Chains A and B, each alone.
Chain A
Amino acid sequence: MIWLDTIVQGILLGGLYALFATGLSLVFGIMRLVNLAHGDMIVLAAYLILVLVTGLGLSPWLAVLIAAPLMFVLGWLLQRVVLNRVLGPDILPPLLVTFGLSIAIQNALLEGFSADSRRIPNPDLEGASVALGPVTVGVMPVLTFASAVLVIVILNRVIYGTPLGRSFRATSDDPVTAGLMGIEPMKVFAVATGLAMMVVTVAALYLGTRANFDPAIGPARLIYAFQAVIIGGLGSLWGTLAGGVIIGVAQTLGAAVNPEWQILAGHLAFLLVLLVRPRGLFPRARD
């Protein structure tokens, strides 16, 4: 039964990693941009929620509803003012700009909040657990996984069922011809980044309530997010969920053998998939 329990924990952890990864996947799918500051944006959002909860006395759920549009605006501005200027055929400028951004955010947070570990208070649901058949699981992990699924369903609905989503796909295919249709790629990119930041906010809620966080943990989240995207295959949001689950299960299995091996197990699983399926498990047919 221990192994079943471990695997279920791993699957639920995968939901968290999928939430980390979904924003990354969306942005890369539309504009071929990898934001190296993505993990740090999650941490930034966590601090934002923390401030709203401790400063205004709001419940974390209400805080997310306020933080999400704020993060949308932040992402939108970031894309319009900074990232749109460096997008282009050369991969170096966006890489280096987002790398600089990552360092800047980490240290700004350090200055603002110090290196102390913090946690978003979640008194109602923190220790709560529920029975799922033979295993008992925490309510928050289940909510995390359910949120990941919900977010992916909503995003897919947007991408495949709305004019905005059509603009996303068309701009991703061919920005010049999209321009002929009256679409302005730079504006589309800004909306995409804004949307990604809203997903990041949801991820931040579950990150911040689940465990302690501090300004330096961003890069590790980026790595898990990235691994989930690569394993899943570029362009598929459900694939990203699958990728997250694989990393989550690998990590919990590794930790069950030896706690020191948790993260290493995740990396090894990633390298294994890279070995046999370099394009991921569910890649887009093209590119």
Chain B
Amino acid sequence: MLLETRSLDAGYGRFRALFGVDIRVDAGECVAIIGANGAGKSTLMRSIAGVLPNAPDMIRHKGDPIGALSSAAILQRGIAMVPEGRKLFPSLSVEENLLIGGQKRRGSGQWSLDSIYALFPILREKRAVPGTALSGGQQQMVAIGRALMSNPELLLCDEISLGLAPVVIRDIYAALPRIRESGAAVIVVEQDITQALRVADRVYCLMEGRVTLSGTPAELTREAIHSAYFGGHA
């Protein structure tokens, strides 16, 4: 078991966003977190990534309590995040954005500039361009590549399809199998339920900060998902 949260209560100052969330990710798995806007999905990702501080025991990585660690320390443990909104560095070129992803942790694995360019060939053309001068989809590729450069064991993908056209989303998700092949486990946060069910081994549904449903795509019915997503009756 790679990562688990135990009764995770996270929030922003006096505003609580998560209430007793328990999720689990095993090595090599792909887990999807679905839910409506404001359900707490990004809060969950940020907590795991160390952007939001929590009580140490609420998040465990291979048994170690990591809830209170900084994001820099979390990266060293092999957990990398593709943040919501891409968050590329405008002062850095595409190549520099990728390089900085692997600057502090090289890790043991196959990801390097060359293999990232092989995964997303368009980026090789645009390597010298400032990160933010690309289209949304290309920026997303850079953001994913940047996270991969540290050869993480666990990749956190926070809303990577947000604001992108369906064709582009398809291209991005087409890279997921290659990412999984390299041995990384992935947590995918998605508002698009169909997309999530297509790629995930297991699914958690959040609503208003609580886990309302969990299981494999095969186990879950449309109705169950619908009521877990929106609450009340379909």
List 17 A-B pairs, Cβ < 8 Å: A163-B100, A170-B89, A170-B91, A179-B51, A179-B70, A179-B72, A180-B75, A180-B87, A181-B75, A181-B101, A181-B103, A182-B71, A182-B72, A182-B103, A183-B103, A184-B72, A286-B90
Assign chain B's interface to a size class.
20 to 34
A163 nearest CB neighbor, chain B only: B103
Answer whether residue A126 sits at the interface, using C-beta atoms and an 8 A cutoff.
Answer: no
Stretch from B32-40, B76-84, B171-179, B194-202 forming part of the interface with A: B76-84
- Does the CB pair A167–B87 fall under 8 Å? no
- Does the CB pair A167–B51 fall under 8 Å? no
B143 nearest CB neighbor, chain A only: A177
User: B104 to chain A: which residues have CB within 8 Å?
Assistant: 181-183
Answer whether residue B139 sits at the interface, using C-beta atoms and an 8 A cutoff.
Answer: no
- Does the CB pair A183–B72 fall under 8 Å? yes
Q: Once bound together, how far apart are the Cα atoms of A179 and B50, in whole Å?
A: 9
Residues of B in contact with A (beta carbons under 8 Å apart): 49-51, 70-72, 75-76, 80-81, 83, 87, 89-92, 96, 99-101, 103-105, 146, 150
A185 nearest CB neighbor, chain B only: B72
- Does the CB pair A176–B96 fall under 8 Å? no
- Does the CB pair A182–B83 fall under 8 Å? no
A170 nearest CB neighbor, chain B only: B89
- Does the CB pair B92–A166 fall under 8 Å? yes
Answer whether residue A172 sits at the interface, using C-beta atoms and an 8 A cutoff.
Answer: yes
Answer whether residue A169 sits at the interface, using C-beta atoms and an 8 A cutoff.
Answer: yes
Q: Once bound together, how far apart are the Cα atoms of A181 and B147, in whole Å?
A: 8
A141-170, CB under 8 A of B: which get 1 and which 0?
000000000000000000000010011011
- Does the CB pair B83–A173 fall under 8 Å? no
A173 nearest CB neighbor, chain B only: B89
- Does the CB pair B150–A182 fall under 8 Å? yes
B87 nearest CB neighbor, chain A only: A177
Assign chain A's interface to a size class.
10 to 19
User: A166 to chain B: which residues have CB within 8 Å?
Assistant: 92, 96, 99-100, 103
Q: Once bound together, how far apart are the Cα atoms of A174 and B83, in whole Å?
A: 12
B104 nearest CB neighbor, chain A only: A182
- Does the CB pair A170–B100 fall under 8 Å? yes
Q: Which are the 9 A-B pairs with shortest beta-carbon distances?
A: A182-B104, A169-B91, A182-B75, A179-B71, A177-B87, A173-B89, A170-B89, A182-B72, A184-B72
Q: Distance (Å) between the CB of B44 and the closest chain A CB?
A: 15
Q: Once bound together, how far apart are the Cα atoms of A184 and B76, in whole Å?
A: 12
User: B70 to chain A: which residues have CB within 8 Å?
Assistant: 179, 184
Q: Which of B80, B90, B146 contacts A173 (CB 8 A)?
A: B90
- Does the CB pair A167–B100 fall under 8 Å? yes
User: A174 to chain B: which residues have CB within 8 Å?
Assistant: 87, 89
- Does the CB pair A180–B103 fall under 8 Å? no
Q: Most chain-A CB neighbours within 10 Å: which of B51, B76, B100?
A: B100
- Does the CB pair A170–B72 fall under 8 Å? no
Q: Distance (Å) between the CB of B157 and the closest chain A CB?
A: 13
- Does the CB pair B51–A176 fall under 8 Å? yes
Q: Once bound together, how far apart are the Cα atoms of A263 and B83, in whole Å?
A: 51
User: A182 to chain B: which residues have CB within 8 Å?
Assistant: 71-72, 75-76, 103-105, 150
User: A180 to chain B: which residues have CB within 8 Å?
Assistant: 49, 51, 71, 75, 80-81, 83, 87
- Does the CB pair B89–A169 fall under 8 Å? yes
User: B101 to chain A: which residues have CB within 8 Å?
Assistant: 181
User: B92 to chain A: which residues have CB within 8 Å?
Assistant: 166, 169-170, 173
Question: Known contacts A172-B91, A177-B83; can you find 15 more A-B pairs with CB under 8 A?
Answer: A163-B100, A166-B103, A169-B91, A170-B89, A174-B87, A176-B51, A179-B51, A179-B71, A179-B72, A180-B51, A180-B80, A180-B87, A182-B71, A182-B75, A182-B104
A284 nearest CB neighbor, chain B only: B91
B86 nearest CB neighbor, chain A only: A177
Q: Most chain-A CB neighbours within 10 Å: which of B89, B91, B99, B103?
A: B91
Q: Once bound together, how far apart are the Cα atoms of A95 and B92, in whole Å?
A: 29
